[in-house]
């Protein structure tokens, strides 16, 4: 009888754990439909038609947001800073209640896809799980960081961080994400004829005293979803 009760308690505990995401999640990208505006000719010139624009194809862009799920303590970091959320889940559906917004969507162990009640067109925010368990907030300022990443323009370059960055190449302003940092970048084409321009946001976390690692989703074509990349910074 005692064994049966213990097994039932374990099953209930596991079910409760499985009913909502756990750990840290990173926003990988934003998928949004862009409006199509109609032009009309008026008195020999063109102007936008006075009508509600239609939706066109989905476009993809970088996102900046992290979620931390620790039981019922849910905290996010983004451009707007830190925010706490309430949560409700129904099977694979999830609802997050903030002070100014409600997010809703679906989730499983590999992906969270959310939409916002504030968006004026169909938009999805895609989050991936962050599996690193032991890391510290990176101390980036005042050092030169040599980047190591396969087949990407950062490889072999020295990255620097400043609260007031100038126009020097590979110098960025760190963005505070609580226990992590991030930076936004935009790289021009390698030549006037090339099509290898790239932009994105890199999430950074410190794993050793002189080593910072990063996760990012570089974008070169806004009609395709970006894919996950990793890098290392050493000083």
- Indicate whether 11 belongs to any domain: no
CATH number of 26's domain: 2.40.128.280
Q: Are 216 and 229 in contact (CB under 8 A)?
A: yes
**In this structure, are 122 and 26 located in the same domain?**
yes
Domain residues for the domain of 160 are 144-234
Q: Do residue 112 and residue 82 come from a single domain?
A: yes
Along the 235 residues of the chain, how does pLDDT read in single tens digits?
444 444 344 334 334 444 889 999 999 999 998 766 555 556 656 555 555 555 578 899 999 999 999 988 999 999 999 999 999 999 999 999 999 999 999 999 999 999 999 998 889 999 999 999 899 999 999 999 999 999 999 999 999 999 998 888 999 999 999 999 999 999 998 888 888 889 999 999 999 999 999 999 999 888 899 999 999 999 9
Whether residue 31 is found in the same domain as residue 96: yes
Provide CB contacts within 8 A for 64, sequence distance 6+. 27, 78, 79, 175, 177, 182, 184, 201
Residue 46 lies in a domain: no
Overall number of domains in the chain:
2
CB hemisphere CA count around 132 (13 angstroms): 18
Tally the residues of the chain.
235
Residues 94 and 161 in one domain: no
Domain final residue, candidates 106, 130, 154: 130
Half-sphere exposure of 172 (CA within 13 A, CB side): 23
Is 74 within a domain? yes
217 near 192, Cβ under 8 Å? no
204 with 173, same domain: the answer is yes
Report if residue 13 sits inside a domain: no
Is residue 202 situated within a structural domain?
Answer: yes
Nearest-angstrom CA–CA distance, 116 and 63: 14
pTM of the entire structure? 0.83
């Amino acid at each position: 009888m005692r064994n049966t009760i213990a097994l039932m308690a374990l099953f209930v505990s596991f079910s409760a754990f499985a009913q909502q995401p756990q750990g840290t999640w990173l926003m990988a990208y934003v998928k949004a439909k862009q409006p199509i505006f109609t032009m009309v000719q008026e008195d020999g010139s063109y102007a936008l038609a006075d009508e509600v624009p239609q939706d066109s194809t989905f476009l993809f862009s970088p996102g900046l947001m992290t979620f931390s799920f620790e039981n019922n303590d849910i905290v996010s970091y983004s451009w707007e800073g830190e925010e706490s959320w309430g949560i409700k889940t129904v099977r694979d559906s999830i609802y997050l209640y903030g002070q100014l917004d409600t997010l809703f969507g679906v989730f499983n162990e590999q992906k969270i896809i959310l939409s916002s009640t504030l968006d004026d067109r169909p938009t999805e925010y895609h989050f991936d799980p962050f599996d690193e368990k032991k890391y510290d907030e990176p101390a980036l300022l005042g050092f030169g960081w040599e980047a190591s990443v396969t087949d990407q323009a950062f490889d072999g370059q020295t990255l620097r961080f400043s609260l007031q960055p100038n126009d020097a190449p590979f110098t960025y302003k760190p963005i505070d994400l609580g226990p992590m940092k991030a930076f936004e970048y935009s790289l021009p084409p390698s030549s006037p004829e090339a099509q290898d321009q790239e932009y994105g946001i890199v999430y950074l976390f410190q794993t050793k005293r002189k080593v910072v690692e990063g996760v990012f989703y570089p974008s070169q074509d806004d009609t395709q979803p970006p894919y996950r990349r990793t890098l290392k910074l050493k000083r």
